Chain A
Amino acid sequence: MKKAIARKPYKHLQGGHCESGSVSSIVTNYGFDLSEPMAFGIASNIGFVFLPFVKIWGRPLIAWRMLPQSIVKGVQKRLGIRFCVKTYDYNHEEEAMDELDRLLDEGRPVGMQVSIAYLEYFLGDFRLPNNTHMTIVSGREGDEYLINDPLWDCPTRVRREDLRKARFSRGPNAPKGFMFYPLEFPETIDYKRAVKKSIKRVVFMMLQPMFPYYGVLGIKTYARAIRRLQKNPDKKYVRGMIGHFVLFQEEVGTGGGGFRYMYAAFLREAYDILKIPELLEASKRFNAIGDKWRLAAASCGKFIQGKTDEVDLEKAARLYRECGEEEREAYLLLKKIRWK
């Protein structure tokens, strides 16, 4: 194992998704090259879950990925990188902030989970209550912290009081001061073993035949739910519902087409290392699947924008169903790989 030493000054890296972007950015800055798709794929973070009985603003929970914090855990487990991970309870907020100051003064950037509602640079006055954003704090100047948010193209600043509130927001998926930074990196990495394990996990989870709200079965349930909306005469309700699904699919960090592209990038990178032809083929398929998710969302575009009240949800449902079928084919292809 070799010690992780932070690069100075912090090199800002932009990513497509908050958690994989943070992990990749912080690990790269501590001196170990890990691309964002690699971090995302190796932690088997791709998925699909549709839970109509769990409500957000009275609408179903839907996500195209696994739970928050799972990339931090997955990268540790699969690649053998040792992280220092800390959480605190609500009585130790000051202690958590002092610990952060100590680490920054030592020259260690820290990744952490925050609530976006308290961060002014995020959405301004539109304060969405969401606890699961991951970001990186790379330094401090007086009362302000330097934030290298992986979604942003440049570093930003946040006041100490705001950051304290954001780290100790309550509610679902509360961050509880969750922070992480790498301690040690392994000398060599057996990519074959890591990629094999991560892909097997994804295939096992996505092709599960038991629970109708997860994986390929979940996509079918989702498509059926979309088709059922067609009969609903209340256009405002339907618009809200479809808007909610598309919002969760493409705009916030729960994935959708964007994550399929990222997984395709991971498979391509794995192919470059391992030279297994199925990985290249699967990468191409996942790229096409990402396009299909986008197309399905875009087919409701005019309706969501309010330009028309007519919407062909039958078509959207059919496209979503095809997404499910194509994903099933792709996972079966990955399942057939002979790892030797």
Chain B
Amino acid sequence: MKINEVPQEGKRMLKLNGLVHYAENDEGKFEKVSSNGWDTGYYTGLNLQVEFEELAEGAKKRIRSNESSPLEYFMYKACMDLPALSQFTEIPKRKVKKHLTPGGFAKLDDATLARYAHVLHTDIETIRKFKSTLS
């Protein structure tokens, strides 16, 4: 890549002014060049964010009709799916699956819920009261 070919399209997911790219100058040496964004790359990140937001909205509906547990909403909010949640909390998948049902969620003790809350960037109270805030 030559210096004048470094993409400068103005949008980036990371909250910074410019990301460094290595580009060749006229003498054939490589320089650090600041790039302020590349559209294709930006939209991949944005698509992922939108995808998880849609999943979270879907989860809200299911929680309202008592088909799912509030954990599902927070799981998608933290950009995780079932295997990821299981890995990051170090709780077996089989148990996570159970906790994602309303019945399993009702039986959750505070210690396990705290473990979920830590990974999902929230606290126990918010998860417990989440269903009553819906409607």
Contacts and interface: CB of A to CB of B under 8 A. Distances in A.
Given A129-B88, A265-B22, A304 B30 contact: no
Interface residues of B, number: 44
Interface in B1-44: 1, 5, 13-24, 28-30, 32, 34, 38-44
Contacts of A244: 44, 48
11 contacts: A123-B13, A123-B15, A151-B19, A153-B16, A243-B48, A250-B40, A261-B21, A262-B22, A265-B22, A265-B30, A300-B40
Contacts of B14: 122-123, 151
A123 B72 CA distance: 22
Nearest to B43: A305
A258 B23 CA distance: 10
A57 B38 contact: no
A302 B124 CA distance: 43
B23 A128 contact: no
B89 interface: yes
Interface string A29-60: 00000000100000000000000000111100
B47 interface: yes
A153 B18 contact: yes
Given A16-B22, A243-B44, A261-B22, 17 more contacts: A16-B21, A16-B32, A57-B84, A123-B15, A126-B79, A151-B19, A153-B16, A165-B118, A170-B88, A171-B84, A240-B47, A246-B40, A251-B44, A268-B29, A291-B1, A298-B40, A305-B39
A227 interface: no
B89 to A, nearest CB: 7
Contacts of B51: 240
A9 interface: no
A21 B42 CA distance: 22
A156 B75 CA distance: 28
B34 A153 contact: yes
Contact of B30 (A152, A170, A258, A261): A261
Contacts of B5: 291
Interface of A: 14-16, 21, 37, 55-58, 117-118, 121-124, 126-129, 151-153, 165, 169-172, 239-240, 243-244, 246-247, 250-251, 257-258, 261-262, 264-265, 268-269, 280, 284, 287, 290-291, 294, 297-298, 300-301, 304-306
Interface of B: 1, 5, 13-24, 28-30, 32, 34, 38-45, 47-49, 51, 78-81, 83-84, 87-90, 118-119, 121
Nearest 9 interchain pairs by C-beta: A265-B30, A171-B88, A247-B44, A301-B40, A243-B44, A261-B22, A16-B20, A251-B41, A305-B43
B4 to A, nearest CB: 13
A294 B34 contact: no
B22 A37 contact: yes
Nearest to A250: B41
A56 B49 CA distance: 15
A298 B43 CA distance: 12
Contact of B45 (A169, A239, A247): A247
A55 B28 CA distance: 40
A261 B43 contact: no
Contacts of B24: 264, 287
A16 B31 CA distance: 11
B43 A57 contact: no
B15 A264 contact: no
B44 A55 contact: no
Contacts of A58: 81
Contacts of B84: 56-57, 129, 171
Nearest to B42: A251
Given A127-B79, A153-B18, A301-B39, A37 B88 contact: no
Contacts of B87: 170-172
A240 B20 CA distance: 27
